[in-house]
Amino acid sequence: MPKTGVLIETENGAVKNINYGLITAALGNRENEVVAFVTQDCAAKAAEELSAYGASRVVRLGVAGGDINSSPDLCAKALAAAIEEFDLKYMAGLATAPGRDVFGRLCAILDAPYVSDIQSIDYGAGTAVKSHFSGKTMATVKLEGSVVLFTLRPNAVDPVENRVDSETAEFTADISEGGKVTVKEIKASQQGRMELTEAPVIITGGRPIGAPENYKMLEECAEVIGAAVGASRASVDAGFAPHSMQVGQTGKTVSPNLYIACGVSGAVQHFAGMKTSKVIVAINNDKDAPIFEKCDYGIVGDMFEVVPVLTEVLREFKDK
């Protein structure tokens, strides 16, 4: 049975939920054995959680004479050594900022083909599907090489429970030299306000927001789903939000995965700045608002009633 290595993302010693879908994808039609790697001292706890989805081995990955988390280079090197050590055919990770970084380094070390940010994988056909041209097309690409490297877009594959027995192990890679890049510092996010342009989710309030303090309502919702908060030009002009929050032709141009427009009419000057969003949700009490002709999902309703409920439901959903 071919073995697939999976780099698990942990946070404060706990496995992040987004890893489960990755395990499911790595498992394929259960034609693979999944070896999970963690870089923090939480292998036992992780094994318990990951075995529920099919990881049969959980390995605490480390480097000899150093801290694996002090440089993404060390993690990549350790993974490269692990591929050999565990005789892995596939090595998978999440297409998150840390995942993309480690896998970029890994593919360079191995000089092996690497498919980033895939949305599905078909082991039988030896193919994966990923976005090309900024999400305008989907490409089916061939998985090549003696070791296949890929990263999976978070949440692209639903986790499927598949309990197996699991064991834990430790693997400390011997590396000839240290990392060329060192992590000097992790700066915590600046309170609540995320940078608009690169945010994966944006929630925007239009003119009906009525007052600057009402943006708190959107911020609360944003916090639940890791979104940035934006504003329409009309709202900025009315003095409810600073220009740095403005999305649109004369503000910021954004293309998040999800754009939630609350009380935004959808005039061209605004639409031009967010039209490349992958999915657009509109909440507006005017059922004839032009935004409903351009969004993917719509709710006709007062944003002051809908948004608090949305925050609540998202929170419930997240906690589940």
Q: Which is nearer to another protein, 167 or 293 (CB)?
A: 293
- Restricting to residues 85-144, name those near another protein by CB under 8 A: 96-98, 100-101, 103-105, 107-109, 111, 113-114, 116-117, 119, 127, 130-142
Site track 245-264 with another protein (rule: CB under 8 A), x = hit: ----xxx-x---xx------
SS (H, E, C) 84-122: HHCCCCEEEEECCHHHHHHHHHHHHHHCCCEEEEEEEEE
Residue 79 CA to residue 83 CA, distance in Å, equals 6
Residues in CB range of 112: below 8 A, 6 or more apart: 145, 146, 147, 148, 149
**CB of residue 175 to another protein, shortest distance in Å:** 15
Of the residues 2, 13, 226, 242, which one makes contact with another protein according to CB under 8 A: 226
Query: Is 290 one of the binding residues for another protein (CB under 8 A)?
Result: yes
Q: Backbone dihedral region of 276: left (phi > 0), alpha (psi from -120 to 50 degrees) or beta? A: alpha
Site track 152-191 with another protein (rule: CB under 8 A), x = hit: ---xxxx---------------------xxxxxxxxxxx-
Do the bridges between strand 114-122 and strand 127-132 make them parallel or antiparallel, or are there none, so unpaired?
A: antiparallel
Q: Backbone dihedral region of 30: left (phi > 0), alpha (psi from -120 to 50 degrees) or beta? A: left
Q: Which is nearer to another protein, 57 or 105 (CB)?
A: 105
- Restricting to residues 204-223, name those near another protein by CB under 8 A: 207
Query: Is 39 one of the binding residues for another protein (CB under 8 A)?
Result: no
Q: Which is nearer to another protein, 216 or 243 (CB)?
A: 243
Q: Which is nearer to another protein, 1 or 186 (CB)?
A: 186
CA distances from 299 to 42, 119, 296, 307 (A): 43, 28, 10, 11
- Restricting to residues 133-152, name those near another protein by CB under 8 A: 133-142
